[in-house]
A and B are shown apart, each in its own frame.
Chain A
Amino acid sequence: MSRLLRIRLTLALFGLLLVAALVGPALSPWSVAALDWDHPAVAPTWQAGHWLGTDTLGRDVLVRSLAGLRVSLSIALLASAIGLLLGGATGALAGSVGGFVDGLLMRIVDVGYALPVVLVALLLTVVLGRGASTLLVAAGTVGWLSTARMVRAETQRLALAPYVLAARLIGVAPVRLFWRHVLPNLIGPVLVQATLTVPSLVVLESFLSFLGLGVQEPNASLGNLLHDGAREMERAPWLLLAPAVLLVSVVGALTVLGESVRDEIAHAD
């Protein structure tokens, strides 16, 4: 499969999942928290209208999975936006100013790397309690670190590029130099970074929700759906299967997409 074809396919798959997550729940007669007392824990069936079955309380698995995907994706997208802005600003500052500021900021990043993400989330849970906001802060913290490192390295590389040197030579002021000549070239790598951060954040969200630190019932997220599904796996495997398939498709699509775009850019030079 050629790389361009792979990019198109994964982009299409991601778009499809996004649309399904956004409009899917609205199209179904069931809602996320609606209990169907006549059909608790039924296997996937056409008759009762529960295409992917129901959970032990009679809630529709298809609707809950799609709604869960929406929640998980929203958290991941929002958190990576926070991380990219924060990390991008830090990295650009460290990379262009250099010296003491650079050293200080990068040491802060190094310290951040000393703690596994799950533990950062755990500490934040003590402060903020559990829920989506804690998740958002924890996930943002993670995206921040790697973005800061990447943007710093890229800024340093660009600062030595011939056209930037030329611009400096004709007397372009530092601030203008950054906005006009360096920043536009940072956007590409940052976007690639984003396509790789989002799937890792989807996994992180499901991780924390699985441990009971994330999105709380009756709201659905891929994490707490998987948690419930894993518990009922022997009696009702469809509870695990639906959210697992969604998780794998969205994470897989974004990972392959990000890697392919990165390679495409690297080999275009």
Chain B
Amino acid sequence: MRNSLWRLLLGRLLFGVPTLWVVITVAFLLVRLAPGGPFDAEQRLPPAVKANLDRTFGLDRPLVEQYQRYLGRVLHGDLGPSLRLRDRRVIDLVREGLPVSLTLGGLALVLALLVGISGGLLAAVRRGRAADRVLAGVSVLAVALPPYVTAPLLVWIFAVYLGWLPVAGWTAGRWLDLVLPVVALALPTAGSLLRIVRASALDVLASPAIQAARARGLSATRILWAHVLPPTLSPVLASLGGAAAGLLGGSLVIESVFGLPGMGRFLVEGALNRDYTLVLGKVLVYAVLVLVLNLGADLGALLLDPRLDRRGAPR
């Protein structure tokens, strides 16, 4: 166990570093090869001013030199200055936005897991009955409805019509602000997790191990928690990395709908007005997050299913 855990950690680290390098390089080349620049405003700047700006940000250097410089800076934890937001450093913007996005995404993930796992188990145990049918319908709806449709609907019902929750906005420490964004973000993930758990639990329930447990006279509750739940969770963990990446993407939209000051802030505008450093920096942070989340999911899978140990680290 110990052994393969370290092997997995080491392997992921050895893979993670080159992955990030490729992401930085490809992203750097992509944004730089594009026509136009950050200072092409609608009003043309006088050539002297533009040259000055380019010099300040090092944009007048050869591309290779800019790339080397950028890479060197990133290794020192510096993502450079934003080109369009005056006097803001990208790392500071990340530092402001990340806690908000992580709180939002983390809570949504927990909620989706809770709802998805318990709902999926319930549907599997009650297969073919009313509860199963209702859950099947609701989960298709949840998967098919993107968060930006559910978000305004939820706002309309709970904030405008009933007046229970705030419409939008974010004040640190006001947990009520988070309820609607978290629910809207979690719904699609919860729906797809529910379907995965249901299918997986049905397979487990049909297995000889469960039959044996029943034959030994174990109580239904004990069978469910000790014998059905753990093997059911394997495919859930396998899908968790993708689900987390989906939540990160979804949080972009949710943040814009609810006006939350998260990582997604300035990002879309940054891409449209060629704020190279801002886009590169935030993309890099997102990539790190996805890698870390995937590692977590793999570790969880290993802890849950010792058989993976003998077959070697999961890919």
Contacts and interface: CB of A to CB of B under 8 A. Distances in A.
Interface of A: 107, 110-111, 113-119, 122-128, 130, 199, 203, 206-207, 210-213, 226-227, 230, 233-234, 237, 240, 244, 247-248, 251-252, 255-256, 259, 263
Contacts of B242: 113
B15 A110 contact: yes
B30 A247 contact: no
B279 A114 contact: no
Interface string B269-297: 00110101001000100110011001000
Contacts of B287: 114-115
Contacts of A114: 19-20, 23, 287, 290-291
B249 interface: yes
Given A118-B249, A119-B283, A207-B249, A199 B144 contact: yes
A73 to B, nearest CB: 14
B141 interface: yes
Residue from A123, A252, A256, A263 with most neighbouring chain B CB atoms (10 Å) = A123
Contacts of A244: 145, 149
Q: Main secondary structure on chain A at its contact with chain B?
A: helix
Contacts of B286: 115-116, 119
Nearest to B290: A114
Contact of B249 (A107, A117, A125, A212): A117
Contacts of A199: 144
A240 B272 contact: no
Contacts of B195: 259
A76 B23 CA distance: 26
B149 A247 contact: yes
Nearest to B33: A127
Given A114-B291, A122-B268, A122-B271, A211 B30 contact: no
Contacts of B248: 116
Contact of A252 (B140, B257, B283): B140
Contacts of A107: 15
Contacts of A116: 245-246, 248-249, 286, 290
A203 B145 CA distance: 8
Contact of B253 (A126, A211, A233, A263): A211
Nearest to B241: A113
Contacts, number: 120
Interface of B: 15, 19-20, 22-23, 27, 30-31, 33-34, 140-141, 143-146, 148-149, 151-153, 156, 160, 195, 199, 241-242, 245-246, 248-249, 252-253, 256-257, 267-268, 271-272, 274, 276, 279, 283, 286-287, 290-291, 294
Nearest to B133: A1
B148 A230 contact: yes
A126 B272 CA distance: 6
A105 B33 CA distance: 25
B290 A234 contact: no
Contacts of B283: 115, 119, 122-123
B156 A233 contact: yes
B156 A251 contact: no
Contacts of B34: 126-128
B146 A256 contact: no
Residue from A122, A128, A206, A263 with most neighbouring chain B CB atoms (10 Å) = A122
A118 B143 contact: no
Contacts of B294: 113
A81 B291 CA distance: 28
Given A123-B27, A230-B149, A247-B146, A210 B253 contact: yes
Nearest to A244: B149
27 contacts: A113-B290, A115-B283, A118-B249, A119-B286, A123-B27, A124-B30, A126-B276, A199-B144, A207-B249, A210-B253, A211-B253, A211-B256, A211-B268, A213-B268, A226-B146, A227-B148, A234-B160, A237-B156, A240-B153, A247-B145, A247-B149, A248-B144, A248-B145, A252-B143, A252-B144, A255-B144, A259-B195
